[in-house]
Chain A
Amino acid sequence: MLQLRSVGMQFGAVEALQSVDLDLAPGEVVGLMGDNGAGKSTLLKIVAGNFAPTSGEVRLDKRAVELTPLSAREHGIEAVYQDLALCDNLSAAANVFLGRELSRRLLGVLPVLDHAAMRRRSAELFVELGSDTRPADLVRRMSGGQRQAVAIARARLSSPRLMLLDEPTAAISVRQIAEVLELIRGLRERGVCVLLISHRMSDVFAVADRVVVLRRGRKVADKATTDSSPEEVTALITGAIEAA
């Protein structure tokens, strides 16, 4: 579905990414790992359309594309960022539909918010994601796992093909981590491809089909999680093993 071909990114004299190839297929969860500064965020931002690569190309369905944040969305790529970007004072449903509110016409003319439809659709999304989040609850009162569910449901609203999750399990409790991993499995079951950026080895090995390791802007590993081990990946991240 999405392919990166010898993608490179230079910021002045700094080479954040060097000739990275990556293939993503529908219904696949790919864990993207690497130390701070290895190029994970740069790669994510290229796929989300925030950065245009300085060399190489991005292909969608075998055609080269130049992504912008808007066109990435139109192509079905949605990113969920670490800080989640939710409005604490609004309900889960209001957050899911923020900026894309559903309305109906009162007496055929006056546009009014269709609260019932938005709650119903959010409830469906939460059920799909296997989350216990209730649409009318305020985000302020939610757990970290429920917040993730809201952010993911918002991204799911447009039925994306590829979801980019940036550190979804950072700073939440163990039980909530299990919830978030369940959300990711739910996405895979629906044929969505997930690119999961994470520092947590156990999470990547729990849900990812494949693990990609970046070190100093180069891809040093790209293999099925079943053929690898946390020890090997740790060694790849730190440079104890050159490549695998």
Chain B
Amino acid sequence: MKSLRRTPQSLWVMLTVAALAGVMSLVSEPFASADNIFNVSRNFAFIGLVALGQTAVIATGGIDLSVGSVMGLSGIVTGLVLGSGQPLVLAAAAGLGCAFLCGLTNGALVGYLRLSPFVVTLGMLSVARSLALVISNNKMIHDFGPDEGLVLALGGGRFLGLANPVWLLLVAALGAAAWFRYSRLARHVLAVGGNENSTRLAGVPVARVKLTVYVLSSLLAGASAILMIGWLGAVTNALGQGYELRVIASAVIGGANLMGGEGGAFGAVAGAALIELIRNSLLLLGVDPYWQGAFVGGSIIVAMLVERVRRGSRTAG
């Protein structure tokens, strides 16, 4: 999409990632090790995947706070179906099906009944997490049945030196970038975020556009959860807890405008990379992990301040 090319934010974030990585490799020996790079890239792949969907939601002027809980619910359902001896395909379909229903509910309430996205998805955050607890009966699931090897290989394996989730993120990001630039739906997503009323007057089915982005966001959360249980080798109902903050931070740092109308695929991935890099750097520098929340939360606020300054100078110029 145009805004991606014109808005250099994703580029700035990538440069920041490169600069931070450069500094870290000088001050911390373990940073540049193959193992650490592998871990960092795999960790942000899970977040980046979900951030792609979140970016589409934010571009309509909405927000999806439920992604972390949807990950938990999808992970639990997938784990349980696997544990009951079903093949991975069926289990994944069940997990993604739950995610789809969550997204459908969010999207219908926001799009057709015009409820506030913040309130609807905050409600879903609680509902989906609670369902995960109910279904799992608060037990950890680590028996993945006959397809266990396949699940572990999918989320935990590697290919040509990169973790499988990283490859999937790369494919998804390229797909999303093409989607933002070339699809009519993405054009309508940005139009809704820019001026909902005029988009409606132009004959665009605004409610359906909104429904679609919430469904996409949930489906990506579900897919990420399935990869994640393969990496972790087990799933608890706490899977994805608090991830909504990292996901939203990734999208916003990557240039998605919370007022709607702006956002791109590469920005979301770059934002996720930056956050994971900051987390990793803090750990390697020996900063107490308790501080991580402060840095992730603070980075959202800083990103919004930067956006405000950019916007302010733009109107002045």
Note whether A and B form a binding pair.
yes
Interface size class of B (residues with CB under 8 A): 20 to 34
Q: Report if B3 contacts A (CB, 8 A).
A: yes
From A90, A100, A112, A154, B183 is in contact (CB under 8 Å) with A112
Contact between B261 and A99 (Cβ–Cβ < 8 Å)? no
Which chain A residues border B183 with CB–CB below 8 Å?
Answer: 112-113
Which chain A residues border B6 with CB–CB below 8 Å?
Answer: 138
Q: How many angstroms from the CA of A98 to the CA of B184 in the assembled complex?
A: 9
Which chain B residues border A90 with CB–CB below 8 Å?
Answer: 2, 187, 190-191, 194, 261
Q: Report if A87 contacts B (CB, 8 A).
A: yes
From B181, B191, B203, A87 is in contact (CB under 8 Å) with B191
Q: Report if A136 contacts B (CB, 8 A).
A: yes
Q: How many angstroms from the CA of A218 to the CA of B268 in the assembled complex?
A: 59
Contacts A94-B2, A113-B182, A138-B6; A89 near B199 (Cβ below 8 A): no
Which chain A residues border B187 with CB–CB below 8 Å?
Answer: 90, 94, 98, 101, 113
Which chain B residues border A106 with CB–CB below 8 Å?
Answer: 182
For A, the interface residue count at a CB cutoff of 8 angstroms equals 22
Classify the secondary structure of A's interface with B.
loop
Contact between A88 and B197 (Cβ–Cβ < 8 Å)? no
Q: Report if A91 contacts B (CB, 8 A).
A: yes
Contact between B190 and A85 (Cβ–Cβ < 8 Å)? no
Which chain A residues border B316 with CB–CB below 8 Å?
Answer: none
Contact between B194 and A87 (Cβ–Cβ < 8 Å)? yes
Contact between B191 and A98 (Cβ–Cβ < 8 Å)? yes
Number of A-B contacts (CB under 8 A): 65
Contact between B182 and A87 (Cβ–Cβ < 8 Å)? no
Q: Report if A36 contacts B (CB, 8 A).
A: no
Which chain A residues border B95 with CB–CB below 8 Å?
Answer: none
From B188, B203, B204, B262, A89 is in contact (CB under 8 Å) with B262
> Per-residue 0/1 for B184-196: is the Cβ within 8 Å of any A Cβ (1 yes, 0 no)?
1001101101110
Q: Report if A173 contacts B (CB, 8 A).
A: no
Query: For chain A residues 3-25, which have a beta carbon within 8 Å of chain B?
Result: none
Contacts A90-B190, A113-B187, A138-B2; A98 near B199 (Cβ below 8 A): yes
Which chain B residues border A91 with CB–CB below 8 Å?
Answer: 2
A110 and chain B: residue at smallest CB distance: B182
Which chain A residues border B198 with CB–CB below 8 Å?
Answer: 84-87, 98
Q: How many angstroms from the CA of A88 to the CA of B193 in the assembled complex?
A: 10
Contact between A99 and B202 (Cβ–Cβ < 8 Å)? yes
Q: Report if B113 contacts A (CB, 8 A).
A: no
Cβ-closest 10 pairs across A and B: A85-B198, A87-B194, A89-B261, A99-B202, A89-B194, A112-B182, A99-B203, A98-B202, A87-B195, A99-B204
A-B residue pairs in contact (CB < 8 Å), sample of 25: A84-B198, A85-B197, A85-B198, A85-B202, A86-B195, A86-B198, A87-B190, A87-B198, A88-B195, A88-B261, A89-B3, A90-B187, A90-B194, A90-B261, A94-B2, A94-B187, A94-B191, A98-B202, A99-B204, A100-B202, A101-B184, A101-B187, A113-B183, A138-B2, A138-B6
Q: Which residues of B pack against A, CB within 8 Å? A: 2-3, 6, 181-184, 187-188, 190-191, 193-195, 197-199, 201-204, 260-262, 314
| Besides A113-B184, A136-B2, 19 other A-B contacts (C-beta < 8 A) | A85-B195, A85-B197, A87-B190, A87-B199, A88-B194, A88-B261, A89-B3, A89-B194, A89-B260, A90-B187, A98-B199, A98-B202, A98-B204, A100-B202, A100-B203, A106-B182, A112-B182, A113-B187, A138-B6
Q: Which residues of A pack against B, CB within 8 Å? A: 84-91, 94, 98-101, 103, 106, 111-113, 136, 138, 140, 154
